[in-house]
């Protein structure tokens, strides 16, 4: 056993056993921490930036502690730090944050977005359930035989079949009004009334 107050090794040190440190491992600027037989994983700080580099295989970051998170944090815009990405083992969600405020979270049914979704295009293959008003700043484009359905039982249907424009009141009369005044009324099995 060698006991000393300090050890200065100018060349390579080949240690076969474990190295146990009771203080910091103090690497200087541009000194690499190498891992792997071929130095495949490297970490370095160059005095300005820090780099984590892997040249072989996948990179896994694992937290096996029950009900904990893995969080990526950075400046919160006010001198502190905040979460920006979080893998949450408590509720099973992956969350994206804006300055620490949750904006998107994965759920068992899909995703939950807090705030507004802005995108260049939106392709929905299934049903879209919109609870609020729908405001269009451009055209509503529909194909032949596509229906606009209105009413709890789809009582009013508007469509175009390629040759004819169809307004179908189905179970109720159709009225053309201006404000509250009826101008034209189409009655099932009855007359077309003009006012």
Structure tokens at 31: 């000194």
The DSSP element (H or E) to which 39 belongs, if any, is none
Report, as an integer, the average pLDDT of 83-109. 96
Q: What is the mean pLDDT of the chain?
A: 94
Task: List the Cα angle 18/23/28 in 5-degree steps.
Answer: 95
Supply the pLDDT for residue 102: 96
pLDDT tens digits for range 151-193: 999 999 999 999 999 999 888 889 999 999 999 999 888 899 9
pLDDT value of residue 108: 96
d(CA 16, CA 95): 43
The residue-averaged pLDDT of 69-86 equals 95
The pLDDT, as a whole number, for residue 181 is: 94
42 — pLDDT class (breaks 50, 70, 90): very high
Instruction: Average the pLDDT over 121-131 and give the result.
Output: 92
Residue 146 has pLDDT above 90, yes or no: yes
pTM: 0.72
In DSSP notation, 68-133 reads -EEEEEEE-SSSSEEEEEEEETTTTEEEEEETTEEEEEEETTEEEE-S----S----SS-----S-
Q: What is the mean pLDDT of residues 106-128?
A: 94
């Amino acid at each position: 056993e060698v006991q000393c107050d300090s050890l200065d090794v100018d060349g390579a040190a080949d240690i076969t056993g474990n190295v146990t440190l009771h203080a910091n491992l103090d690497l200087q600027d541009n000194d690499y921490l190498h891992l792997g037989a071929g130095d495949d994983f490297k970490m370095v700080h160059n005095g300005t930036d820090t780099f984590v580099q892997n040249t072989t295989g996948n990179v896994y970051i694992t937290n096996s502690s029950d009900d904990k998170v893995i969080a990526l944090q950075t400046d919160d815009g006010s001198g502190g730090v905040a979460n920006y990405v979080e893998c949450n083992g408590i509720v099973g969600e992956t969350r994206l944050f804006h300055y620490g405020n949750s904006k998107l979270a994965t759920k068992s049914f899909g995703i939950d977005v807090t705030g507004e979704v802005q995108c260049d295009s939106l392709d929905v293959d299934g049903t879209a359930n919109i609870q609020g008003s729908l405001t269009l700043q451009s055209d509503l484009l529909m194909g032949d035989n596509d229906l606009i359905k209105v009413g709890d039982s789809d009582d009013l249907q508007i469509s175009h079949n390629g040759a004819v424009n169809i307004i179908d009141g189905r179970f109720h009369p159709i009225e053309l009004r201006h404000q509250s005044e009826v101008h034209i009324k189409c009655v099932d099995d009855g007359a077309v009334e003009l006012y």
